[in-house]
Structure 1
Amino acid sequence: MKKILALLVPVLALVGGVAAGDMLRPGAKGDHPATAGAPADDGHGAPAEDHAAGDHAAPDVSDHAAPPSADDHAAAADGHGGGEHGGEAVPAEGWFTFPSQFFVPLMRNGDMGAVMILTLTIETGGADLPAMRQQEHRLRDALLRELLIHANTGGFDGNFTAEARLAPLRERLQRAAQASTDLTVKAVLIEDIARQAG
């Protein structure tokens, strides 16, 4: 009996080990549901599918910005122009028209025989136009002073609308305006002129 038992113990241990190994083998026959659906190991400690997807997947082109197109460059240029220069180009020329007319009395022997009524406009640079509006009163005083001198020296007597009379008046008004301000005064335009009986 002792010899038979000595032979049976190793045989039984071998059979039990084979059966236990067969039961514990992963995914062999679906015996372990927890491991049946798991992907096979590729030998690097990570599932083969995850390894392929993570390490060797094609790069996503959406992560890389596309090269700028011509339209993008044009839009950028427009953005720079509008941001640095206020959105619009400053015009080279501007015209400042006095909001009210000039009234110049024509005095004869102490009596006002008539009144000259004029509408004047100053031609200037576009950049100086806002500052010229702020200096309206100073410019108006200088021009009115020159108109009074012109009236008291007979400049509005007779045919005052003749070009020979108006050309010197424009020059005198321009010099008076230039002397009263440091802004650009290219010319003084006479928009309207009329004489009204006093």
Structure 2
Amino acid sequence: MIKKLFPILLAVVGICAGLGAGVFLRPEPAPPVAIGAEANGEMDAGNDLSEVPPIAGEISDSVDYLTLSDQFIVPVVEDGKVKSLVLVSLALETKPGAQEKIIENEPRLRGALLQVMFDYANVGGFDGAFTNSSRLMKLRRNFFEVAQSIFGDEITDVIVVEITRQDLS
């Protein structure tokens, strides 16, 4: 009887010892680093985000928000087959009074934003951990640049309201 219980007891003791060692020897979490900043506090040369408004800032009464009417649906193609679909909902932060002009020209804006998403999907932007903050920041920067190329300073920010990927089997 003891010969049968000894291996089980040995396995339970080994698992408990491993868990205890893992808890006590866990490394300290790394200190938070600003997005795009190196450990020494300097910005990467390729990640200059000075043109993009910060993700979270002060709430201002001098801006309006316009949620684009429909979601964007972007296919992610691999080996000539659609492997997943990405759905993106966007909102625009605008200067007051600019919303009417934007709504009148929404098809042009949607076409340009959709092209940005297609290009982003084609370079693998929606693969893997696509919600990583640095990846989303690049996508937002591209959205912002395209929106400003069409409407100028009337667009003050582009906000990703929702992003979802549905993998197809």
Q: Which amino acid aligns with 1:167?
A: M
Distance, in Å, in 2 between the alignment partners of 1:167 and 1:193 is: 13
Distance, in Å, in 2 between the alignment partners of 1:162 and 1:175 is: 20
Q: Does the CA contact (< 8 Å) of 1:106 and 1:114 recur in 2?
A: yes
Q: Does 1:187 align with 2:157?
A: yes
Give unmatched runs, 5+ long, in structure 1.
Answer: 1-90
Q: Which residue of 2 aligns with 1:119?
A: 89
Q: Which residue of 2 aligns with 1:83?
A: none
Structure 1 residue runs of 4 or more that deviate by more than 4 Å after TM superposition: none
**Per the alignment, in what secondary structure is the counterpart of residue 150 of structure 1?**
helix
Give unmatched runs, 5+ long, in structure 2.
Answer: 1-60
Q: Which residue of 1 aligns with 2:117?
A: 147
How far off its partner does 1:180 sit? 2.2
Q: Does the CA contact (< 8 Å) of 1:92 and 1:127 recur in 2?
A: no
Distance, in Å, in 1 between the alignment partners of 2:125 and 2:119 is: 9
How far off its partner does 1:94 sit? 0.8
Select the residue among 125, 137, 140 that pairs with 2:107. 137
Identity of aligned residues (%): 32
**Per the alignment, in what secondary structure is the counterpart of residue 186 of structure 1?**
strand
**Per the alignment, in what secondary structure is the counterpart of residue 130 of structure 2?**
coil
**Per the alignment, in what secondary structure is the counterpart of residue 92 of structure 1?**
coil
Q: Which residue of 1 aligns with 2:69?
A: 99
Structure with bigger helix share is 1
What is the aligned length?
108
**Per the alignment, in what secondary structure is the counterpart of residue 144 of structure 2?**
helix
Q: Which residue of 2 aligns with 1:173?
A: 143
Select the residue among 161, 166, 169 that pairs with 1:196. 166
How far off its partner does 1:179 sit? 1.3
Per-residue displacement from partner, 1:118-144 (whole Å, max 9, x unpaired)?
Answer: 100111111111111111111100100
Distance, in Å, in 1 between the alignment partners of 2:150 and 2:63 is: 20
Q: Which amino acid aligns with 2:78?
A: R
TM-score by length of 1: 0.52
Per-residue displacement from partner, 1:140-181 (whole Å, max 9, x unpaired)?
Answer: 001000011000001111101110110111001100111123
How far off its partner does 1:183 sit? 5.7
The higher relative CO (CA closer than 8 Å, separation ≥ 6) is in 2
How far off its partner does 1:182 sit? 3.9
How far off its partner does 1:100 sit? 0.6
Distance, in Å, in 1 between the alignment partners of 2:166 and 2:85 is: 5
TM-score by length of 2: 0.61
Distance, in Å, in 2 between the alignment partners of 1:112 and 1:133 is: 31
Q: Which residue of 2 aligns with 1:34?
A: none
